[in-house]
Amino acid sequence: GAGVSQTPSNKVTEKGKYVELRCDPISGHTALYWYRQSLGQGPEFLIYFQGTGAADDSGLPNDRFFAVRPEGSVSTLKIQRTERGDSAVYLCASSSALNTGELFFGEGSRLTVL
Amino acid sequence: AQKVTQAQTEISVVEKEDVTLDCVYETRDTTYYLFWYKQPPSGELVFLIRRNSFDEQNEISGRYSWNFQKSTSSFNFTITASQVVDSAVYFCALYFGNEKLTFGTGTRLTIIP
C-alpha cells in the first residue's frame, strides 16, 4: 500500500487476555518501529527492527510485550495477560533508511483493556 | 537525561492569525537533531522538519517557519496566516541517531474559522 497500515484500528479486550496488533510498513522500508501513545502524551519508543531482527527492544515495558517481524516486512506486536494500564494507541512507523529520525507513521491501533 | 517540554497544552486562534508553538529541550549531547511532527485527527504523525544541532539557521517553508536557538535550547514553530487545516496536535522531538525519537507531550492547536 501507499502508507503504513495497522490493524485492527480499534481493539477492546478484557484484562488478562492476549492481543496481537499488526503493522504493514511501506513497501521497501527496511526499518520498522513501534511506539505507544497514552492519552495526552507524546509517543514513547518501544522497539525497532532492521530487517527481521529486533535491533533495540529497550522500550518494551516488561516481558508481557513481544514483537516479531519474521520476513522483514509485516510486524506483529504481541501483548500477553493484558492489564488496564496497557490501554493506549500503538503506533507503527517505517523508514527507508536508518539514522534519519524521519519516520512514516500509521494511524495506530487503539487498545482498550477493560 | 534528554527531555522535550512543550508547555502549551492547547492553543486556539482565529483563522488567518499567526501562531507560535514553543519547544524547549534538554540534553548534554553536542550532536542531536530536533524534529516537528503533526498529528491530525486521523492519528498518523506527519514529519514536518528536522534540524541538526550545528545548524541554527532559521528555516521557512511556505506558511511554516522554525526558529532554533541553542542559547535558550528552544526550537519554536510558527504558522503564519493559519488555516483550519492546520488544526492538529503538534509534537516536538529530540533525536541522537539511535533510532529513538523522544517526543514532547504535544500542543493541540485549534484554528477557529
Residue showing cell 529520525: A101
How far B9 CA lies from chain A's nearest CA (Å)? 9
Residue A71, by phi and psi: left (phi above 0), alpha (psi -120 to 50) or beta? alpha
Q: Could you tell me the pLDDT band of residue B57, with boundaries at 50, 70 and 90?
A: confident
Interface of A with B in 18-77 (CB under 8 A): 31, 33, 35, 40-45, 48, 55-56, 59
Rg (CA), chain B: 14
- Is B106 close to A103, i.e. CB distance below 8 A? no
What parts of chain A have a pLDDT lower than 70? 1
Which positions in chain A touch B99 (Cβ < 8 Å)?
31, 33, 48, 55-56, 98-99
User: What pLDDT score does B99 carry?
Assistant: 83
By DSSP bridging, strand A109-113 and strand A10-13 are parallel
Residue A72, by phi and psi: left (phi above 0), alpha (psi -120 to 50) or beta? left
pLDDT, average across residues B21-36: 94
